[in-house]
Amino acid sequence: MITVTAYNDRDGGFYERSGRGFTADRRVKPEFAAPGVEVSTSLGKRTGSSLAAAITAGAAAQMMQWAVVERNYPLASGRELKYYLALGAERESGVQYPNREWGLGKINVQRTFQELAGLF
């Protein structure tokens, strides 16, 4: 399972009502951050970590499509999925990762594919 926190995509700020980690046994939670403030939906703009979770689910589906359906890594599991998402995660300079607000960083699927293609 991947856990996610929300941030404001317009200014890059952490959504204060979103969850923070780590767990009692020192595991990294949340693992990633995704947009969750004033996200455009069919019902208008909405805010909440549930929107960040939905965006993360879409990113995970896109990665699994590439890995399993397109047979680039047909035995991919949740572990590999986390690795791929971490590979492309955006991280601020001067911030230590993982951390309790941002996890491993902000999800960036385009950057993940660029990293996999060797463009970075």
pLDDT of residue 22: 86
pLDDT for residue 46 is more than 90: yes
Confidence of residue 1 (pLDDT cuts 50, 70, 90): confident
Q: Where are the alpha helices (DSSP H) in 1-120?
A: 49-64, 78-88, 109-116
Average pLDDT, rounded, for the chain: 94
pLDDT in tens, 90-105: 999 999 999 999 999 9
| Nearest alpha carbon to residue 15 among 54, 41, 51 | 51
Rounded to whole angstroms, the Cα distance separating 67 from 82 reads: 12
State the pTM of this model.
Answer: 0.90
Q: Which CATH class is domain 4-116?
A: alpha beta
pLDDT of residue 19: 85
Q: Where along the chain do its domains lie?
A: 4-116
Element (H, E) at 4: strand 4-7
